[in-house]
Structure 1
Amino acid sequence: MKITDVSVVVTSPGRNFVTLKIGTDEGVTGLGDATLNGRELAVASYLRDHVVPLLLGTDPHRIEDTWQLLYRGAYWRRGPVTMAAISAVDVALWDIKGKVAGLPLYQLLGGASRDRVATYGHASGRDLPQLFDSIRERLAHGYPAIRVQSGVPGLHRVYATPTAPDAAPDPANGFALPAVEDWDTGAYLRHLPRVFEAVRAEFGPDLPLLHDSHHRLTPLQAARLGKALEPYDLFWLEDCTPAENQEGLRLVRRHTTTPLAIGEVFNTVFDFQTLISEQLIDYVRASVTHFGGISPLRKLLDFAAMHQIKSAMHGPEDVSPVGTAAAIHLDLAVHNFGIQEYSGHSPLAHRVFPHSYTFTDGFLHPGDAPGIGVDIDEEIAAAHPYQQSYLPVNRLLDGTVHDW
């Protein structure tokens, strides 16, 4: 079997997705997700201009060899664009291998370690009544765990919460410029424990609750927050500080027993090396789409398992159904699974990417279709072309750019 055709599909069924499609001389095709939110065209170009020529004529079954070629052979290693491109190739080759074998991907990874995959959903509100309504809505959908994000008094735009009615509109010069959020760390640190106190009083002690600080705190501030949230028994505190400074997590760990989850912006095992070997985190948040694919992420999770650290793969709406499916297969197979983020996708995105995975009563299953179990309707995809868009940016009240 040889690779004879490779194409890159960029489409926007509600948001932008980049999909790699690999074809073979035996008519078997595979799909991989290469979406990098806000920088989608950079990955599409990397694939078309630099990766596709290397794949044509090669054996699709040589997954590990191809991965090493794309990683080591470029000389310029790592980085989100490179690793998203490599991920798309890796997942597409696993998809082909599963189809040739007539087996779903999780069977090639050792078979199922559980019957279904637990998820958490996102709840948010500008104030407590709106937040409570959002939590109830997620519970009605069956989510067994809830991520809680709250507005902060005095701030108009806060990550993952509804925009205040009087917030200034985004600028527009022919395309969507980044929305600008505002931030006050002191106000946030004072307000958030009160939010969780109210949520616990309303929903009781048994509901698993999560929270995402989204990289906005220093290690000392993160330690203070983790300590303040201990009475409310969080399932985890996510991205409490920018973890590129891995040593900073030592300070956080020394001062709080609140579980920590980190890694959605990481690309390789080197980003996690200290965090895992010193057990500075409890959950690995890397995604298949941004970590180079199934092959390296399975190795990372085996490394994490040696240190009693569990998986919690990134699952936002900007990981396409192709990337979502790959994650669910890995979730089902690995022993040290923790929980899967699941934001879902729009009905139109589901039409572009018909799939075998299911979401029932808060749990996912990849289905038993051969490969990853996702197809792409290229006609519908073509009817929804790329739309220029950006992730928001964050500024302190004095105008200084801050972490988003």
Structure 2
Amino acid sequence: MKIADVRVIVTCPGRNFVTLKITTESGLTGVGDATLNGRELAVASYLNDHVRGLLLGRDASQINDIWQYLYKGAYWRRGPVTMTAIAAVDTALWDIKGKAAGMPVYQLLGGKARDGVLVYGHANGATLDEAVAEVGRYLDRGYRAVRVQCGVPGLATTYGVGKDRDFYEPATAGPRPEEAVWATEKYLDFAPKLFDAVREAHGFGFHLLHDVHHRLTPIEAARLGRAAEPYRLFWLEDPISEELQEGFRLIRQHTVTPIAVGEVYNSIWDCHRLITEQLIDYIRTTVVHAGGITHLRRIFDLAALYHVKTGSHGATDLSPVCMAAALHLDISVPNFGIQEYMPHTPETDAVFPHSYRFEDGMLIPGDEPGLGVDIDEELAARYPYRQAYLPVNRLEDGTMHDW
């Protein structure tokens, strides 16, 4: 199965996506997600200028060797651009291998370990009443787990709150990022009130999640975790900036609220200490940013040894190609926890036809050979790339802060 063609497809059906399509001499094709939100063209260039020529003529069935070749052969290892590019290649090769075998990828990973993949939706509102009502709307749609985000009184904008309740997209088109203003003390005062209002209105019969988005210090996160304990959060996500992993030890000393982190990690070495020292409860690394199915499976296997469950990132900056790949891995690993799921727009779904489906609070991967997802190149060409950035964040005195 020699590789005959490698193409990078950039499209913007409402937001930017980068897709790698690999074709073998026999005509089998595979697709991989190469989207890095706000830095999409950096990965496209990496693939076109440095990877494409290395793949032509290689045996597409040798996934492990190609992964190591691209990782070790570059000398400059890891980093989001490199690992996203490797992930795209790896995912596309798994897609090809599944098609060659006539099996869905999850069968190549050992088969199903569960009937479906539990997912959580994103309820948000500018006000407390709106957020509480949105949680109810997700429950009415069959979700068993809901993440809630809400506007903070006194702040003009808040992470997780968008103009479109169904298709939240923080990246905005333009030559520069939007700038937001943040006040930790206002957030810490308000967040427990949000949890209380949601539980008062909807009870404890579903999983409730919340994302801090890296904005607190360890002791502030510990304070929030302790305040949230009566409301039994499924997890508190990304409570602190993830560079200083020792900080998670301080959080652990003060609260039993479960902690989830890892969407910005791109290798097993980034999260090794957090997992092996049991400083977290859920690891949120993704197929597209952590080296593809091959490397993410290594991370999940390590996590399983230390009672850490999976909870992969799944926002709309990950294309349906990545979501399909995630589901095949999710449904096969023993330590699956939950999968983030933000439905894509109809335009995106049309560009990326796929067979996975939402049913009774879960996503079910398709049974077609490979990943069960493709890209409509003719339709994709109708949506040219538009420069867009994620916002940046400042404190009220103008200091740059984690967004």
Which amino acid in 2 is paired with 1:225? L
Shift in Å, 1:91:
0.4
Report SS of the residue matched to 1:351. helix
The Cα offsets for residues 350-371 of structure 1, whole Å up to 9 and x where unpaired, read as 1111111111232111110000
Give the Cα–Cα distance (whole angstroms) in 2 for the partners of residues 192 and 294 of structure 1: 35
Shift in Å, 1:140:
2.1
* Structure 1 equivalent of residue 80 of structure 2: 80
TM-score, normalised via structure 1 length: 0.96
The Cα offsets for residues 13-66 of structure 1, whole Å up to 9 and x where unpaired, read as 110000000001000010000000000000000000000010000000000000
Give the Cα–Cα distance (whole angstroms) in 2 for the partners of residues 117 and 176 of structure 1: 38
Of all paired residues, the percent bearing the same amino acid is 61
* Structure 1 equivalent of residue 385 of structure 2: 386
* Structure 2 equivalent of residue 292 of structure 1: 291
Give the Cα–Cα distance (whole angstroms) in 1 for the partners of residues 340 and 141 of structure 2: 14
Which amino acid in 2 is paired with 1:367? G
Report SS of the residue matched to 1:254. helix
* Structure 1 equivalent of residue 49 of structure 2: 49
Which amino acid in 1 is paired with 2:131? L
Report SS of the residue matched to 1:205. coil
The Cα offsets for residues 264-293 of structure 1, whole Å up to 9 and x where unpaired, read as 000001111110010000001011010000
Which amino acid in 2 is paired with 1:275? L
* Structure 2 equivalent of residue 313 of structure 1: 312
Shift in Å, 1:176:
4.9
Change (3 A) 1:176 1:344: farther
Give the Cα–Cα distance (whole angstroms) in 2 for the partners of residues 347 and 276 of structure 1: 38
Q: Is the 8 A contact 1:157 1:180 kept in 2?
A: no
Give the Cα–Cα distance (whole angstroms) in 1 for the partners of residues 354 and 312 of structure 2: 19
Give the Cα–Cα distance (whole angstroms) in 2 for the partners of residues 197 and 354 of structure 1: 40
Q: Is the 8 A contact 1:91 1:326 kept in 2?
A: yes
Give the Cα–Cα distance (whole angstroms) in 2 for the partners of residues 328 and 162 of structure 1: 26
TM-score, normalised via structure 2 length: 0.97
Give the Cα–Cα distance (whole angstroms) in 1 for the partners of residues 134 and 11 of structure 2: 30
- 4+ residue stretches of structure 1 with deviation over 2 A? 174-177
Shift in Å, 1:139:
1.4
CA RMSD of aligned residues (A): 1.2
* Structure 2 equivalent of residue 36 of structure 1: 36
* Structure 2 equivalent of residue 350 of structure 1: 349
Output aligned runs, 1:90-105, within 5 Å: 90-105=90-105
Per mean C-alpha deviation after superposition, the further-off stretch among 352-361 and 132-141 is 132-141
Runs of at least 5 residues in structure 2 that lack an aligned partner in the other structure = 164-169
Shift in Å, 1:138:
1.2
* Structure 2 equivalent of residue 339 of structure 1: 338
Give the Cα–Cα distance (whole angstroms) in 2 for the partners of residues 308 and 175 of structure 1: 43
Shift in Å, 1:206:
2.2
Q: Is the 8 A contact 2:33 2:321 kept in 1?
A: yes
Give the Cα–Cα distance (whole angstroms) in 2 for the partners of residues 198 and 129 of structure 1: 8
Give the Cα–Cα distance (whole angstroms) in 1 for the partners of residues 43 and 140 of structure 2: 38
The Cα offsets for residues 161-208 of structure 1, whole Å up to 9 and x where unpaired, read as 146xxxxxx9x9x93531221100011111111111111111112221
**2:72 pairs with 1:69:** no
Report SS of the residue matched to 1:4. strand
* Structure 2 equivalent of residue 328 of structure 1: 327
Give the Cα–Cα distance (whole angstroms) in 2 for the partners of residues 327 and 360 of structure 1: 17
Q: Is the 8 A contact 1:219 1:248 kept in 2?
A: yes
Shift in Å, 1:315:
0.3
